[in-house]
Amino acid sequence: RFCHNPYLVEQRDVDLNVRDKWDSTPLYYSCLCGHEELVQYLLANGAKCEANTFDGERCMYGSLSDSIRRLLKEYKCITAQAMQRDYYDHFLLTLLEQGQYSDVKFLVHGETFQAHRCVLSARSEYFTAMFETKWKGKNLIPLKHPLINPAAFGAILQYFYTGRMDIDVSHVEDCKRLAKQCKMGDLIDELESKCKQVYEFVSNKPGTCVKVLTLEPHSCQHQEEMAQLADCALPAELKVGFGELPFDRTDNFPSYPDICFRVEGYDFLCHKAFFCGRSDYFKALLQDHFSEGEMMQSQPSTPVLTIHNISHEIFIRLLYYVYSDDTELSPENVFDVLCVADMYLLPGLKRLCGKTLAKMLCEDNVLHMWKTAKLFRLSRLEDQCTEYMAKIIERLVEKPEFADMIKEDAGAVEDRHETDSIPLVDDIRFHITSNVQTFSAIEEANVKLDALDQLLSTIGLEC
């Protein structure tokens, strides 16, 4: 059902690379069943199928036709729309590859790797300790040990930044050696488990060749560790339960900030790499229009920027989103956060707000919610609102505000003729009639459609 419904991808924002209990993706099943158009659609929207990886080889081996195999081989890029579905992953990968605002470089047998102390410290206690001892104050760190493989070191960095790892199978042992040095037992277990899975697949499938081992991110752990940077950024007086727990690293965890945001008198010690990389608003503010005049007295090298028109409570919600791609939202703060997300050009945070608003949907607020969704271009929330409207349409047609909304939506259609469709009405009709399979459901749907048609007739609109 998932594979046959683009609506789930475009309106419901469902993850294209979701896996079932057999570790199979929608793309794998589409290849297996010979659905060529669907394979093309999934690839265009960001389904992963790199050559010589476990997923890629499975899709190639299982494809029903040569034309699908050609599609898989020739597909080189994904659309901008698909890239925008994973704002956070794309940001972290770009941060690693481009090294903007990098504050440390590693030199490994002639290869240079740019990095950020804050990211490595958040993800690894080994790096935290090294930056405060052997590597303290160093901006260029040469790693000369003959057993350190540059490709393996690059893969470890990719894992720190994105939670993902793509490594040539010939370098897996080098990776495990580095992971052991960095005290990353979980990563070693993951690598061994994936190697076993790939070995079993290749040995049973003649002609397949997996050259690249891929580990997918465990987003919760990765996000929680990145959220430590937001913990560190909080002013001491706003840290709840600060230093009480034995495993709380924030009281002795240096995060190496390079910008201070002053909000309602509170100083938040942050990182330009995250704020500029996550938001074009902050990028313009810090790069183009910000004169670094005022400096922190306690940290003379850290410039101070005062942010106006936002409370410190709402800034904290934004702060955690910027670092970890998640934040705590409630009915009390979600509308304020949504406005700030829109103003600061954070589309992913807007989508998070949309998910929270969807949980608050009820008969009393559905019309207001739909208007909010339209105003902030939250297509998924808009669709959830019209789905809810379809369920209660017989009561909704009694409300004058609903009739006014239909008139307004009809008026918004350019050059609309009398019998042209009205988007709001079309969407409600779609939800009334979708998944109608029994006679009683057909009768119920007809009653709802009649109620909607009667309202349209009353207000002088036909569509």
Domain boundary among 82, 113, 135: 82
CATH assignment at residue 105:
3.30.710.10
Fill in the amino acid letter for 196: K
Query: Exposed (0-12), middle (13-18) or buried (19+): which is 370, by Cβ within 10 Å?
Result: buried
384 confidence band (pLDDT: 50, 70, 90): very high
Same domain, 259 and 330: yes
Question: How many distinct structural domains can be found in the chain?
Answer: 4
* Residue 388 belongs to a domain: yes
C-alpha dist (Å) from residue 440 to 51, 58, 431, 443: 50, 44, 16, 5
Same domain, 334 and 436: no
* Residue 222 belongs to a domain: no
Same domain, 337 and 365: no
Give the pLDDT score at 81.
39
Same domain, 330 and 447: no
- Does the pLDDT value for residue 145 go beyond 80? yes
Scanning 205-307, the segments in alpha helix (DSSP H) are 219-233, 272-278, 280-287
Same domain, 377 and 338: no
Give the pLDDT score at 47.
78
Give the pLDDT score at 221.
85
Same domain, 203 and 103: yes
Rounded CA gap, 1 and 10, in Å?
Answer: 15
Same domain, 330 and 378: no
Does residue 165 sit in helix, strand or coil?
A: strand
CB of 68 closer than 8 Å to CB of 39: yes
Domain that holds residue 369: 361-458
Higher pLDDT, residue 299 or 307: 307
**Tokens 């419904």 appear where?**
5
244 confidence band (pLDDT: 50, 70, 90): very low
Q: Which of 177-181, 238-242, 438-442 shows the lowest mean pLDDT across its residues?
A: 238-242
Domain boundary among 331, 352, 373: 352
pTM over 0.75: yes
* Residue 242 belongs to a domain: yes
pLDDT digits (tens, 9 = 90+) for 300-314: 678 899 999 899 999
Q: How many helices (H) and strands (E) does the chain have?
A: 24, 8
CATH assignment at residue 36:
1.25.40
Query: Residue 438 is encoded by which pair of tokens?
Result: 């029994």
Domain boundary among 48, 82, 116: 82
Neighbours of 221 (CB within 10 A): 12
- Does the pLDDT value for residue 118 go beyond 50? yes
Same domain, 237 and 345: yes
Same domain, 53 and 174: no
Same domain, 245 and 336: yes
Q: Which helix (H) or strand (E) holds 213?
A: strand 212-215
Mean of per-residue pLDDT scores for the chain: 84
Query: Residue 366 is encoded by which pair of tokens?
Result: 């559905």
- Does the pLDDT value for residue 76 go beyond 70? no
Rounded CA gap, 24 and 58, in Å?
Answer: 9
Same domain, 262 and 327: yes
Give the pLDDT score at 169.
87
414 confidence band (pLDDT: 50, 70, 90): low
Give the whole-number percent of the chain exceeding pLDDT 70: 85
- Does the pLDDT value for residue 353 go beyond 90? yes
C-alpha dist (Å) from residue 16 to 22, 44, 92, 379: 16, 11, 20, 17
